[in-house]
Chains A and B, each alone.
Chain A
Amino acid sequence: MTRDLDIIIAGGGRVGFQTAEILADLGHDVTIIEQDERLVSDIADEWIATVIEGDATNPDIIEQAGIEQADVIGALTGETGLNLAVCLAATELSPSIRTVARIDRAAGESYTRFVDAVLFPERAGARVAANEILGSDVQTLADVTGTLDIMLIRVTEGAPAAGKQLADVRFPEGTLIVSDADGNRIARPDTTLTPGSRYVVALESDVADEVMNLMRG
């Protein structure tokens, strides 16, 4: 089933605009709701989305964005409360719509009771920044839920766990070595942590420093 999604984005600031651009490039139809006149005119120059000028919490404005046909609404303004209000209003107007809200703190998971998904762009950005800073030795692959991370970690020569078999290393509770050295097999007790090779590791973030110590020295 190929179908382009009809997407509404509330907030055409940095996050909203970049998101709209990516979605438009993927061929979806995007409508942006933005209050700030200056931003509206900037977005119009870029010509990626239809823009409705107004307050995204105003039901009348949401309706003008074509809420009945929309598949998804992403509330991406800088204010968590406003984003939740927009999503709730949208659900009220169009019960089957998928809602995504931008939040401004990590502890926002409980909001998924009201919306289908939340995002925390600062954290996602920080993750990428950390990946870039650390180069290819330590990379976060995915931010699953809560505080669980899936990472790609290169074992350093001379680190405590280097050259040992998994059975011989005591990783802290909340760590799971997922792959073997070349990423072809799931790790077994006899998997060796070869220096220079990279391993997929799932871990809870509060034990990350210990795991780093064991694998990176």
Chain B
Amino acid sequence: MSGSQTRSPEAELGLLDATMIGMGAMIGAGIFVLTGLAAEIAGPAAILVFTLNGVVTAFTGLSYAELAASIPKSGGGYAFVREIFADLPSFMMGWMLWFAYMIAGGLYALGFAPNFLELLHVYGVVPPPDEVGAVVVPVVDAGVPLAFMLAFVAVLGLVALNAVSTAASGSAETIFTIIKVTILLVFVGFGLASPMFSGAEFQPLFPEGAGAVAVLPAMGLTFIAFEGYDLITTVTEEVQNPRENIPKAIFLSLIATVIVYLAVVTVAVGTLGAEGLAEAGEAGIAAAATSFMPTGLPIIQNGGALIVFGAVFSTLTALNAVVIASSRVAFSMGREGQLLPSFGQIHHRYGTPFVAILASAVVMLGSVALPTQSAGNMASLFFLLSFIIVNVAVIRLRRERPNMNRPYEMPFYPAPPVIGVVLNLVLAAVLVEYLIRTDPLALVLSVVWLLLGGVTYVALERLRAQPDHRPTDAETEVISEAED
């Protein structure tokens, strides 16, 4: 037996660790990758976009907190929905959430590549990013863009890592998150002090022609930047006093993240300007940093390199988090008999949900071929949809299981989940409308994935209907599971 995942009661995570897991997953790639794209759509109102998204997602955060405190399962949103919904809706929830994490993985990998090239460029290893052409792969007859190659390799590397070894502990996560936040704070500090910021121009707040409405599609696109606090609910077993700490960790991580985002976006817009950010695209924050960070420092030479390093580091750690998260959803679905049983099996040698990871990797590797914007849109869309279901799950549980013990009860029920459902629906609708206009590819792929889910569900139903194996005698199963 190589190290298999055991529940180690002594490896307890405190409130800080749990909060950092949530923040670490949120302050990953979203802010680095999507700020430029948000500025492109909404202009200086990008600041508003991130703030409003924080508010919208806070309602779902309340739902997650209540569910996590009362349903002790480490499967995140899927496990909660499975508790109260029938087979088909809970399957679709898992199916959508799984896809959302996988596409998010693709998005983070796509954000990693240009930032990594920028880092190399700062040190003069490669020419500036826009001049990096394609590397000619001898096997293939055409040139493959270097950025695509990098994204592909990043996914491959982290998938391989997670496929053969179990995840890093929560304390490592805490250190990573502190590094990320520190780098961002350095960015904010220098940005506020720079002469560029003193002449900051936030007017006109909204882009011309579109007006305030432009905020909505930008919110849809960047919604994924607040995805990550739900990962706290996947490690609940290891948290001390979960009924107290899980809700606290969810809110603390959300509040802290909103503050960090607000500061970062304000500085980015204030220094580089919305147009500059829009031009820099995925490397917007990095470009802003290189414009005002001091140069001529020892070792790192250019202060901007620190921020670019932060972007590279953040996208990689976030990618790692979603590789784990996506495989956990698939694993849970396999355990529940909603995907093939092999998905719910732990590999005998590596002690990891091997099949679940490999299956997740296939979609992730495919999604790095997408334009960054499409990946962001699709991931956001599926998170919006799955968050709607989570809110509905809270309402259903309250109505159908009034006697369920709820160590944490959200205030002002039923307002928060209802508001959460409405706001998420609005954003999803706006996003879909926006996709119809600008990004039909993302929409088609989303619909294809949903249809594929329907086919999978029916096929599995058929498969199960043949011999009815209800494990009445679970002895053999229990023995094999007892090892992990």
B is bound to A: yes
Q: Which residue of A lies closest to B237 (CB)?
A: A47
Q: Which residue of A lies closest to B484 (CB)?
A: A27
B residues near A45, Cβ cutoff 8 Å: 241, 243
The answer to whether A49 and B7 have CB atoms under 8 Å apart is no
Residue B337 interfacial (CB < 8 Å): yes
How many residue pairs at the A-B interface have CB separations less than 8 Å? Answer: 80
**Given A26-B478, A50-B83, also A4-B335 (CB < 8 A):** yes
The answer to whether B336 and A3 have CB atoms under 8 Å apart is yes
Bound Cα distance from A72 to B310, whole angstroms: 51
Q: Which residue of A lies closest to B242 (CB)?
A: A47
Residue A52 interfacial (CB < 8 Å): yes
Of the listed residues A26, A54, A96, the one surrounded by the most CB atoms of chain B closer than 10 A to its CB is: A26
The answer to whether B405 and A96 have CB atoms under 8 Å apart is no
Q: Which residue of B lies closest to A65 (CB)?
A: B401
CB distance from B438 to the nearest CB of A (A): 42
What mask results when residues 57 to 96 of chain B are scored 1 for a CB within 8 Å of chain A, else 0? 0000000000001111100000000011000000000000
CB distance from A57 to the nearest CB of B (A): 13
Bound Cα distance from A64 to B474, whole angstroms: 25
The answer to whether B471 and A5 have CB atoms under 8 Å apart is yes
Residue A51 interfacial (CB < 8 Å): yes
B243's contact among A1, A4, A44, A61, by CB below 8 Å, is which? A44
Of the listed residues A1, A27, A47, the one surrounded by the most CB atoms of chain B closer than 10 A to its CB is: A47
Residue A157 interfacial (CB < 8 Å): no
Taking CB atoms and an 8 Å cut-off, the chain A residues in 19-35 that contact chain B are: 24-27, 29
B residues near A54, Cβ cutoff 8 Å: 403
B72's contact among A1, A25, A50, by CB below 8 Å, is which? A50
Taking CB atoms and an 8 Å cut-off, the chain B residues in 98-113 that contact chain A are: none
The answer to whether A3 and B471 have CB atoms under 8 Å apart is yes
CB distance from A124 to the nearest CB of B (A): 17
B residues near A43, Cβ cutoff 8 Å: 405
What mask results when residues 94 to 105 of chain A are scored 1 for a CB within 8 Å of chain B, else 0? 001010000000
The answer to whether B336 and A48 have CB atoms under 8 Å apart is no
A1's contact among B7, B83, B336, B341, by CB below 8 Å, is which? B341
Residue B469 interfacial (CB < 8 Å): yes
The answer to whether A51 and B73 have CB atoms under 8 Å apart is no
**Given A40-B405, A52-B401, A96-B470, also A3-B335 (CB < 8 A):** yes
**Given A27-B335, A44-B243, also A1-B404 (CB < 8 A):** no
A47's contact among B243, B400, B470, B481, by CB below 8 Å, is which? B243
A49's contact among B72, B401, B474, B482, by CB below 8 Å, is which? B72
Residue A137 interfacial (CB < 8 Å): no
Of the listed residues B241, B407, B469, the one surrounded by the most CB atoms of chain A closer than 10 A to its CB is: B407
Q: Which residue of B lies closest to A34 (CB)?
A: B405
CB distance from B440 to the nearest CB of A (A): 40
Residue B344 interfacial (CB < 8 Å): yes
A residues near B407, Cβ cutoff 8 Å: 41, 44
Taking CB atoms and an 8 Å cut-off, the chain B residues in 238-278 that contact chain A are: 241-243
Residue B402 interfacial (CB < 8 Å): yes
The answer to whether A66 and B83 have CB atoms under 8 Å apart is yes
Residue A71 interfacial (CB < 8 Å): yes
CB distance from B169 to the nearest CB of A (A): 19
Residue A109 interfacial (CB < 8 Å): no
Bound Cα distance from A142 to B402, whole angstroms: 42
Residue B131 interfacial (CB < 8 Å): no
23 contacts between A and B (CB under 8 A): A1-B469, A2-B335, A2-B341, A2-B344, A2-B481, A4-B335, A24-B72, A26-B481, A27-B335, A41-B405, A41-B407, A44-B69, A44-B405, A45-B243, A47-B72, A49-B72, A50-B71, A51-B405, A52-B403, A53-B405, A61-B403, A64-B404, A98-B472
Q: Which 5 A-B pairs have the closest CB atoms?
A: A51-B405, A64-B401, A54-B403, A47-B72, A47-B242
- A2-B341, A52-B403, A54-B403 given; name 19 further pairs at CB < 8 Å: A1-B469, A2-B477, A3-B341, A3-B477, A24-B72, A26-B482, A27-B481, A41-B405, A43-B405, A45-B243, A47-B72, A47-B236, A50-B83, A50-B404, A51-B404, A64-B401, A64-B402, A66-B84, A96-B470
